[in-house]
Structure 1
Amino acid sequence: MASTVGTAGLGYLYWLLAARQLAQPSIGTATALISISTVVSMVSNLGLGHMFIQRLPGTGPREWSRIVSAGLLLGCGATAVVSFAACAVLPALGGNFAFLRSTSGVVALVTASVALTATTLLDNVFVAHRASHGMFTRNLALAGGKLALLALLTWAGYGGAGVVLIAWTVPSLAVTAYTLASMLGRLQPGARLGGAGLGGELPHVRGAMSGHHLINLAQAGPTALLPVLVTARLGPEANGHFYVAWMTASVLFMVSPAVASALYAERTNSAAAGLPRASAVVLTVTGLPALLLFFAGESILGLFSAGYAAQGALLLKILVLAALPDAITNLAVAHWRSLREFRRCLRLNLLMATVCLTLTWLWLPGTGIEAAGLAWLLGQGTGAVVVALHFLTRRRKKACAG
């Protein structure tokens, strides 16, 4: 929880500084590239993070080393391949992705995507060991490093989208290197990362792809794809306005997935973690920020500039309203995942993703960036209704049986 909130707060300051120091076109291009790297990483991490949570508890140093080494190598390697493929395909689909035709654009996308995959997978290693304090330290150093490097580069007079991307990526690589060199050894004494036994892990990776990864893609797909769709339909500059509002609201959307991951990890470790307690935690942490963003969101966006406030105020209100159904569906998926009801998780996530992405694509040209928020709200709302009907039906069946 502290990792989520701290990262979101420093991320807010990062984009606030970028918006005040750099021109809007530069912000638009940078946010578009970061959005694409998020999609690439999400598609290509192969569900290995949840495989770590499922398999690492209770393993010895040798098996632990094999699992983590194979996961990092396969996940980062797949991310690099998908990054190059995205650079080849996206510019041909629309002129709004022309920035990927340059060598610098390709290097930036590949580096940012691989760094994001490594960060995500390592976070799940710490979650698997119920050592979220290590994840907190890593993410706080990562977010603080991004902010400090951006401040240094802009103070030195550098500008353009490249400054945002360098400040975004270099700290990720540095923190990842430090984690691999120092932190993992303390997490699992005697572990040594290497390439031995990679082939033996492939069956487990295929299992993760057919189970956890499909669920993750359907669940996280809309959050990663919305900025890309805005770029494709409205252009990088409009995506800059969308991204700032989306990033501001993300403090609400980051809490329930963090609690859901902890719930799943606790149940994997045979702990008696329940949905009511997890729900209470989410409501307690997000309640006050949600009220603040809903009633003072325009003023908060105004800290970036008057243009961001004018373009994103309504969108921010819509996104705040979507936080409650989003929390309901995230916790429900974690609950069903812990019961190994993977098909139920996948069906729910596919339903929400289909509603959200279809409506976004259809509504964006005529409605503007608010269309993405409305589609997100309707998608999550549809999922929350399905969850409520499921639990009510199950409770009624138990009552009848009793």
Structure 2
Amino acid sequence: MLRTVSRDSLARNSVLIMASTVGTAGLGYLYWLLAARQPGQPAMGTATALISVSAVVSMVSNLGLGHMFIQRLPGTGVREWSRIVGAGLLTGCGVTAAVAFAAAAVLPSLAANFAFLRSSSGVAALVVASVALTATTLLDNVFVAHRASHGMLTRNLALAGGKLATLALLTWAGYGGAGVVLVAWTLPSVAVTAYTLTTMLSRLRPGARLTTRGIGAELRHVQGSLGGHHLINLAQAGPTALLPVLVTARLGAEANGHFYVAWMTASVLFMVSPAVASALYAERSNAAPAGLPRAALVVLAVTGLPALVLFFAGESILGLFSASYADQGALLLKILVLAALPDAVTNLAVAHWRSLGEFRRCLRLNLLMATVCLTLTWLWLPGTGIEAAGIAWLAGQTTGALVVAVRCLPTRRKASAA
């Protein structure tokens, strides 16, 4: 088995990306477990709400540059590589900072539950957290582009471990509250990003030195990424990032704390198919043969056992946080586990169509799922509670999977006739 994985580039990089996401999720789980027990639920709700907003800001602001890296970096010379990465990071992080300031100015007037963004410390935390997320996302995609996902694994394990160690140290020293949770979450992100920029990238691409020269010429490619990859990514990741924000706006920060823990627990399943999809796209960008059946087999092999564990033992897992998290989130977790199958179908379909250049088809599918999910969430939250977000997510993903099935039927019929 291990020999097969080491020889198969798609399987190897899929496993490394998944190991990165699962390892990060595991350490992140311990992080939030400590955060929930030390600062208390009000602080937990505020911290998760701010981090949820920063995830939305980063998602909106990264301009699809990560997938542009995957598409353009393979086969480029050192100078061009340095310009692409340097200009991409500067543009993505700069836009993220601007959008974060705008979000801090607008959100408190739209919903009273975001009043914590009125303070200068809240604004600073949002800006730093958002920029750190964008930098992390873009740098991960640089490693994926070179099918060097071991670098992504090393970075993310150091990042997650650093967050946990920092929070443990601060709480041991007697500090608590939402501010401590946020400092422990952002400080290691800045440190690992700085190390990646100064050390890891030169090892990945010997001779490369990041530069912003020629950034004007790169804007043409950024514009193309904005109209293609970024719109697809926004529609695809929008519900993931917006659901906690909607829960906060409609039900409050404390309810979002309960939702966030269940969502984070289920995310171990939602991380698998995007990881395989990214590896599939990278393989095809490097002109390597990679088929959907192989990708689907990898997803099925990895998600099967964890899905069963979460479905039948999820309440006990949530109980590690406190009895209230188990009581409030057990049903939601089961719903999210059921959504993992249609989610995998749609993620692999989008990766396949993206590699064929069928961007409009990808965008239409993702927009359909996002519209169904977000509309139902907004309408159902007040009357149903946090479970409404899970039901809406399941409905959106199931709708998308049915569309993919309908699209695939004509192709199968033609193949059978031939």
Query: What TM-score, normalized by structure 2, do the two folds share?
Result: 0.95
Alignment of 1:151-170 (within 5 A): 151-170=168-187
Please name the residue that 2:298 is paired with.
281
Please name the residue that 2:358 is paired with.
341
Q: Give the alignment partner of residue 400 of structure 2, picking from 371, 383, 388.
A: 383
Please name the residue that 1:301 is paired with.
318
Corresponding pairs, count: 401
User: What letter is aligned with 2:310?
Assistant: L
Q: How many Å separate the matches in 2 of 1:399 and 1:138?
A: 46
Q: How many Å separate the matches in 2 of 1:11 and 1:280?
A: 27
Q: After the TM superposition, which parts of structure 1 deviate over 4 Å for at least 4 consecutive aligned residues?
A: none
Q: How many Å separate the matches in 1 of 2:302 and 2:179?
A: 35
1:298 is paired with a residue whose SS is helix
Q: Give the alignment partner of residue 52 of structure 1, picking from 69, 76, 84.
A: 69
Please name the residue that 1:88 is paired with.
105
Matching of residue 269 in structure 1 with residue 286 in structure 2: yes
Please name the residue that 1:9 is paired with.
26
User: What letter is aligned with 2:97?
Assistant: A
Matching of residue 363 in structure 1 with residue 408 in structure 2: no
| TM-superposed deviation, 1:399 | 3.2
Alignment of 1:172-321 (within 5 A): 172-321=189-338
User: What letter is aligned with 2:330?
Assistant: A
Alignment of 1:134-149 (within 5 A): 134-149=151-166
Q: How many Å separate the matches in 2 of 1:5 and 1:298?
A: 20
**1:214-236 per-position Cα deviation (integer Å, ceiling 9, x unaligned):** 00000000000000000000000
Question: Where in structure 2 are there 5+ consecutive unaligned residues?
Answer: 1-17
User: What letter is aligned with 1:186?
Assistant: R
| TM-superposed deviation, 1:392 | 1.3
Q: How many Å separate the matches in 1 of 2:175 and 2:348?
A: 43
User: What letter is aligned with 2:217?
Assistant: G
Please name the residue that 2:58 is paired with.
41
Q: How many Å separate the matches in 2 of 1:269 and 1:360?
A: 39
Q: How many Å separate the matches in 1 of 2:220 and 2:288?
A: 28
| TM-superposed deviation, 1:398 | 3.5
Q: How many Å separate the matches in 1 of 2:22 and 2:248?
A: 27
Please name the residue that 2:144 is paired with.
127
User: What letter is aligned with 1:197?
Assistant: G
Query: What TM-score, normalized by structure 1, do the two folds share?
Result: 0.99
Identity of aligned residues (%): 84
| TM-superposed deviation, 1:20 | 1.3
2:290 is paired with a residue whose SS is coil
Please name the residue that 2:124 is paired with.
107
**1:242-268 per-position Cα deviation (integer Å, ceiling 9, x unaligned):** 000000000000111011000000010
2:63 is paired with a residue whose SS is coil
User: What letter is aligned with 1:127?
Assistant: V
| TM-superposed deviation, 1:80 | 0.2
Q: How many Å separate the matches in 1 of 2:274 and 2:394?
A: 17
| TM-superposed deviation, 1:397 | 3.1
Q: How many Å separate the matches in 2 of 1:377 and 1:184?
A: 39
Q: Give the alignment partner of residue 367 of structure 2, picking from 350, 363, 379.
A: 350
